[in-house]
Structure 1
Amino acid sequence: MKMDFFTEDDLTATLMSAIMSPNFKILDHRFDKVYNFGSTKMGTHRRLVLEIEDSENDQHLLSFFAKFVPENEAHKAFAIANDCFGKEVYFYSHIASIMEPMLPYEMPLPIPMCHFARVGSTESNTSDSGLSFEASAIILQDLYHLGFVPMNMWIPLDLPYCRVVMRALAIFHGGSVLIQNSKGESSELAEVHEAIFSIKESVFIFDEDAPSGKILHGVVETTANLICQFWPQKYPKEQFYQRLLDILWNSFRNVGAMLQPSHDLLSVLCHGELCGNNILFAYEKDQEEQAPVDAKFVDMQLMRYSSPITDILTFLHVCTRRGFRNKHLPELLSYYQMEFSRAVSPKVATKTLSLEELQTCAKDMKEFGLVAAIHLIPVCLAQSPAQTTVSSFHFDDEDCHQIQDMLGRQSLPYRRDSLLEPLPEPLQKAYSMQENQSEIIFETMRANRKFRGRLEEAYIEYLEFVGLWESSSSE
Structure 2
Amino acid sequence: MDEPPRKDHIIAAAKNFLGTSDFQLDHYNAKPVSDKIVGFMGKHLLVTVTVWVEGKKQDILFFVKMLPTSESHRSFLAELRYFQKEIAFYEVFEPIMTSLLPSEHPLPIPSCYFTVGGRSGDAGPPAKSEDTEMIILEDVSKKGYVIRDKMIPLDLEHARIVMRTIARFHAASFLMKSNSPSARRPDNANYMDEVFLPAKEMFLTKERTSSGYQWAMATAKTTSSAVAGFWPEHFGSDEKKEEIRQRVKECWGKLFQITQPSEKYFNVLCHGDVWVNNIMFRDNAMSGKEKKPVDALLVDLQLIRFAPVAIDLLLFLHTSTTRKFRQDNLNELLEEYHKQLGNIVGKKELDELMSLEKLKESMSELGLFGKVIATGYLPFILNIEEVDPFLKAGSQEPPDFMTFALRDRGEKVLANAKASEHYKVRLMEAYQEILEHLKLWK
TM-score normalised by the chain length of structure 2: 0.89
User: 2:86 — aligned with what?
Assistant: 88
User: 2:230 — aligned with what?
Assistant: 230
Distance 1:77 1:264 in 2: 35
1:175 aligns with 2:172: yes
Distance 2:46 2:297 in 1: 18
Pairwise mapping of residues 91-130 of structure 1 onto structure 2 (< 5 A)? Answer: 91-120=89-118, 124-125=122-123
User: 2:395 — aligned with what?
Assistant: none
Q: Which amino acid aligns with 2:42?
A: G
Q: Is the partner of 1:51 in helix, strand or coil?
A: strand
1:69 aligns with 2:67: yes
Q: Is the partner of 1:23 in helix, strand or coil?
A: coil
Conserved? CA contact 2:81–2:124, under 8 Å: no
**How many Å apart are 1:43 and its aligned residue?**
1.4
Pairwise mapping of residues 399-414 of structure 1 onto structure 2 (< 5 A)? Answer: none
User: 2:221 — aligned with what?
Assistant: 221
Conserved? CA contact 2:147–2:277, under 8 Å: yes
User: 1:48 — aligned with what?
Assistant: 47
* Cα pair distance change 1:310/1:196, threshold 3 Å: same
Conserved? CA contact 2:282–2:295, under 8 Å: yes
**How many Å apart are 1:42 and its aligned residue?**
1.5
* Cα pair distance change 1:358/1:75, threshold 3 Å: farther
Q: Which amino acid aligns with 1:356?
A: E
**How many Å apart are 1:357 and its aligned residue?**
0.5
How far does the alpha carbon of each residue in 1:372-415 deviate from its partner, in whole angstroms, 9 at most, with x for none?
A: 211111222128xxxxxxxxxxxxxxxxxxxxxxxxxxxxxxxx
**How many Å apart are 1:155 and its aligned residue?**
1.1
Deviates more, 1:364-373 or 1:210-219: 210-219
Distance 2:133 2:307 in 1: 27
**How many Å apart are 1:269 and its aligned residue?**
0.6
Conserved? CA contact 1:218–1:435, under 8 Å: yes
User: 2:282 — aligned with what?
Assistant: 282
**How many Å apart are 1:120 and its aligned residue?**
4.2
User: 1:456 — aligned with what?
Assistant: 428
User: 2:373 — aligned with what?
Assistant: 372
Distance 2:317 2:133 in 1: 32
Conserved? CA contact 2:116–2:131, under 8 Å: no
* Cα pair distance change 1:219/1:73, threshold 3 Å: farther
Equivalent of residue 132 in structure 2, options 117, 124, 135: 135
Q: Is the partner of 2:199 in helix, strand or coil?
A: coil
Equivalent of residue 149 in structure 2, options 144, 147, 152: 152
1:294 aligns with 2:257: no
Q: Which amino acid aligns with 2:345?
A: V
Distance 2:263 2:217 in 1: 30
How far does the alpha carbon of each residue in 1:416-446 deviate from its partner, in whole angstroms, 9 at most, with x for none?
A: xxxxxx7545364675342111112211211
* Cα pair distance change 1:375/1:319, threshold 3 Å: same
Conserved? CA contact 1:271–1:302, under 8 Å: yes
* Cα pair distance change 1:348/1:197, threshold 3 Å: farther
Q: Is the partner of 1:135 in helix, strand or coil?
A: coil
Conserved? CA contact 2:378–2:427, under 8 Å: yes
User: 2:187 — aligned with what?
Assistant: none
User: Where does the alignment leave 5 or more consecutive residues of structure 2 unmatched?
Assistant: 183-190, 393-398
Q: Is the partner of 2:382 in helix, strand or coil?
A: helix
Pairwise mapping of residues 249-264 of structure 1 onto structure 2 (< 5 A)? Answer: 249-264=249-264
Distance 1:439 1:212 in 2: 22
Deviates more, 1:424-433 or 1:197-206: 424-433
1:355 aligns with 2:356: yes
1:440 aligns with 2:439: no
How far does the alpha carbon of each residue in 1:350-389 deviate from its partner, in whole angstroms, 9 at most, with x for none?
A: 1111100011011111111111211111222128xxxxxx
User: 2:26 — aligned with what?
Assistant: 27
User: 2:15 — aligned with what?
Assistant: 16
Conserved? CA contact 2:15–2:21, under 8 Å: yes
Distance 2:179 2:106 in 1: 19
Distance 1:381 1:109 in 2: 28
1:426 aligns with 2:389: yes
Percent identity over the alignment is 29
* Cα pair distance change 1:70/1:237, threshold 3 Å: farther
Distance 1:108 1:46 in 2: 26
User: 1:409 — aligned with what?
Assistant: none
* Cα pair distance change 1:166/1:287, threshold 3 Å: farther
Conserved? CA contact 2:160–2:336, under 8 Å: yes
Distance 1:184 1:7 in 2: 44
Distance 1:351 1:370 in 2: 29
